[in-house]
Amino acid sequence: MIEEKNTWKDILTKFLDVCYELLKENNFKWAIMGSVATNLQGCDLEPNDIDILVEKPETVYFISSLFSVFFGEKKNITPFDKNDTWISSKEQPVFRGKDQWNFRWTYAKWKIEELFIEITHKLPPENHPNKLHSIWESGPNIWPYVKDVTFGKYQIPVLPLEIQLETNFERGFNERVKQIIDIFKKQGYDQKLIKKALKEENLERFNRML
């Protein structure tokens, strides 16, 4: 008999069973982003990993410490190596450093079964345009807009589709863009947030597609 693999929902549940209450007790702000957040808000797609954004760097260390059993072997590369094989290890449970665009990362990554879980805190460089005011999917200004969705017995924070839409426009994920806009047509959307989150050219595209 062939044993069925756990789905991303099973693995997300395992993650939440370990750290959900602890994050709540310690008042750590966090949110699901990427494809899992898109799926949880109604889009029909199969996530390949679980991406989690946190408000403070220390939260990366805290979550990482809870999952040390899944750490891999230390490798002398950064998460930005072109082969992207970096994973949290006993010697380096968390990566801290800058990427090629001078964004400052605090980052952990490990695999539960066949699915990677990534925990990220990221700050733009001092000369980043509109650093204090722009909204982008992994940026420091998203926290007032995070919303809760029901997942099993949990109420989990996710990045709203309005903010994710800009990322999907920029990455050319046209099917995701279409699905998000279809949801907006049926359920409505936050018009003020759309105007804040989308670049001018993408706002024009969005209005044409409505």
Answer yes or no: do 90 and 148 share one domain: yes
Has residue 136 got a pLDDT over 90? Answer: no
What's the pLDDT tens digit per position in 6-30?
A: 899 999 999 999 999 999 999 999 9
Answer yes or no: do 54 and 78 share one domain: yes
Answer yes or no: do 119 and 36 share one domain: yes
3-state secondary structure the chain: CCCCCCCHHHHHHHHHHHHHHHHHHCCCCEEEEHHHHHHHCCCCCCCCEEEEEECCHHHHHHHHHHCHHHCECCCCCCCCCCCCCCCCECCCCCEEEECCCCCEEEEEEEEECCEEEEEEEEECCCCCCCCCCCCCCCCCCCHHHCEEEEECCEEEEECCHHHHHHHHHHCCCHHHHHHHHHHHHHHCCCHHHHHHHCCHHHHHHHHHHC
What's the pLDDT tens digit per position in 163-185?
A: 999 999 999 999 999 999 999 99
Answer yes or no: do 151 and 185 share one domain: no
Residue 3 lies in a domain: no
Q: What is the pLDDT of residue 2?
A: 47
Answer yes or no: do 98 and 178 share one domain: no
Answer yes or no: do 152 and 173 share one domain: no
Answer yes or no: do 90 and 151 share one domain: yes
Answer yes or no: do 78 and 180 share one domain: no
Domain count, the chain: 2
What's the pLDDT tens digit per position in 197-210?
A: 999 999 999 999 98
The confidence band for 190, taking pLDDT boundaries of 50, 70 and 90, is very high
What's the pLDDT tens digit per position in 51-73?
A: 999 999 999 999 999 999 999 98
What's the pLDDT tens digit per position in 79-131?
A: 887 777 899 999 999 999 999 889 999 999 999 988 999 999 999 888 776 55
List the domain range (segments joined by +) for residue 207.
160-210
Answer yes or no: do 129 and 30 share one domain: yes
CATH number where 63 lies: 3.30.460.40
Answer yes or no: do 107 and 172 share one domain: no
What mean pLDDT is predicted for residues 143-150? 96
